[in-house]
């Protein structure tokens, strides 16, 4: 026994399980706003995705990876489940979160390079759903039009009654959302459940930074290039400042810059790597928005950068102290 004892003799009281708790708290402001704007159906969608994700993740860990009992439950699965719901419209039929939970658990357990995840689970789920069911994923209705939380799928005619064009879809047409930047900031504009609540997302970021789960530098590195590029390449339809802020606040840019850039598994571990990752995402999202037509390309950009992240990490490895540079 004596031989097995080795330093260190103490450990921090922080655990990996507690990380899930921190993230759940971080999701709370967005969730609250989302429920306020879209009604109780949000709760149903989130519960389905969260509970199913945890259950499926448990099953995979228990039977596929044969993990030890304490390592089977991962609250992060629920967090990813809820985040995947955040990138759906409220009109999504209830089978969509079931699929998203499956996709989340698949992406969560795919491991490649250096035992890291290949894809960000909730971004993967959102991207696949957007590819497979574009009509269902872009059926935006105006906020404060509440739908029944229990109806399995919502009648097309009912959706059409409340259907509005989201700021991102305006942009695809070459015009700009007209109700003002503030409406987009607070979340009165239409769009996906979690993505509209930009102000609430900022609260989440603050919480995550206080708990040292997130690095604001990566988030900022993603937002600043978008803002600058939007100022340099303005739209003919609007004043350049208004356009630039409207670009940032529409779609999933802020949502991804907070929740995807700070997902530790799929971004580089190094600080510089995180900044490069964020900046590259920002630039690519802007470029794809200019070229592509009104689609939410952010998810695909993040997935692309996820694949590149091990390489970014390799190039941004900090210099080891005390080792001279080889000439």
Partner 1 sequence: MILDFPGGVRPLSRTKLGKSNIEYISACSAVCIKADEGAKTVAAIGSRVLRGSLIGESGGTPVYASVAGVFRGIMELEDNRYFVVMNSGEDGEEAVYSPESRAITELNCADICESARRLSVVETRSGAPLWKMLENANGKFRRLVIDCTETDASGAINYRLCIEQAKALVGGAKLLLQATGALKCVFAAEHYRNAALESILKYANDEKLFAIAQLDEKYPYGDRAIMEALYLTTLDKNETAFDRGIFIVSPETAVALYNSMAQGMPMLDRYITVCGDEIAQGKNLCVPRGITLHDISVICGGIKKGGRLIENSLLSGKLASGALSDCTRTLIAAKKQTKARTECISCGKCADACPIRLMPLNVLAGDIDDLRDNCIYCGACEFICPSGIPLLKLIKKRCNAEAEQ
Interacting residues toward partner 1 by CB under 8 A? 2, 5-19, 67-68, 70-71, 76, 113-116, 213, 264-265, 269-270, 317-324
Distance in angstroms (rounded) separating the CA atoms of residues 125 and 104: 6
Closest CA to 257 of 75, 84, 123: 123
Q: Cα dist. 66→59, 72, 259 in Å? A: 9, 9, 29
Nearer to partner 1, 41 or 108 (CB): 108
Q: How many CA within 13 A on the CB side of residue 2?
A: 0
Nearer to partner 1, 20 or 143 (CB): 20
Nearer to partner 1, 11 or 157 (CB): 11
Q: How far is the CB of 34 from partner 1 (least distance, A)?
A: 26
**Coil, strand or helix at 189:** coil
Q: How far is the CB of 267 from partner 1 (least distance, A)?
A: 8
Distance in angstroms (rounded) separating the CA atoms of residues 34 and 87: 11
Distance in angstroms (rounded) separating the CA atoms of residues 43 and 85: 10
Nearer to partner 1, 218 or 251 (CB): 218
Nearer to partner 1, 70 or 152 (CB): 70
Contact of 249 with 185, CB cutoff 8 Å: yes
Closest CA to 283 of 227, 326, 235, 203: 227
Q: How far is the CB of 212 from partner 1 (least distance, A)?
A: 8
Q: How far is the CB of 285 from partner 1 (least distance, A)?
A: 23
Q: How far is the CB of 63 from partner 1 (least distance, A)?
A: 16
Nearer to partner 1, 8 or 327 (CB): 8
DSSP state of 270: S
Q: How far is the CB of 107 from partner 1 (least distance, A)?
A: 15
Distance in angstroms (rounded) separating the CA atoms of residues 55 and 82: 14
């Amino acid at each position: 026994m004596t031989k097995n004892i080795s330093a260190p003799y103490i450990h921090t009281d922080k655990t990996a399980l507690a990380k899930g708790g921190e993230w759940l708290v971080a999701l709370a402001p967005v969730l609250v706003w989302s429920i306020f704007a879209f009604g109780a159906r949000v709760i149903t969608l989130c519960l389905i995705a969260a509970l199913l994700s945890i259950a499926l993740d448990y099953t995979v860990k228990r039977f596929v990876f044969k993990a030890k009992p304490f390592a089977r439950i991962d609250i992060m699965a629920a967090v990813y489940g809820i985040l995947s719901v955040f990138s759906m419209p409220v009109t999504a039929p209830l089978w969509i979160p079931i699929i998203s939970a499956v996709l989340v658990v698949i992406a969560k357990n795919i491991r490649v390079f250096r035992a890291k995840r290949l894809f960000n689970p909730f971004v993967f789920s959102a991207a696949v759903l957007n590819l497979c069911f574009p009509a269902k994923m872009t059926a935006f209705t105006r906020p404060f039009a509440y739908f029944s939380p229990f109806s399995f799928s919502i009648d097309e005619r009912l959706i059409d009654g409340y259907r509005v064009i989201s700021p991102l879809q305006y942009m695809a047409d070459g015009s700009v959302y007209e109700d003002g930047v503030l409406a987009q900031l607070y979340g009165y504009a239409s769009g996906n459940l979690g993505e509209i609540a930009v102000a609430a997302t900022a609260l989440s970021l603050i919480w995550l930074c206080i708990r040292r789960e997130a690095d604001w530098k990566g988030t900022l590195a993603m937002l600043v290039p978008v803002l600058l590029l939007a100022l340099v390449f303005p739209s003919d339809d609007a004043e350049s400042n208004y356009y630039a802020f409207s670009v940032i606040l529409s779609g999933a840019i802020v949502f991804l810059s907070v929740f995807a850039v700070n997902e530790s598994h799929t971004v580089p571990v190094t600080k510089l790597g995180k900044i490069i990752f964020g900046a590259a995402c920002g630039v690519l999202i802007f470029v794809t928005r200019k070229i592509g037509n009104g689609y939410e390309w952010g998810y695909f950009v993040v997935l692309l950068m996820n694949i590149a992240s091990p390489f970014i990490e390799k190039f941004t490895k900090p210099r080891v102290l005390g080792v001279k540079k080889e000439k």
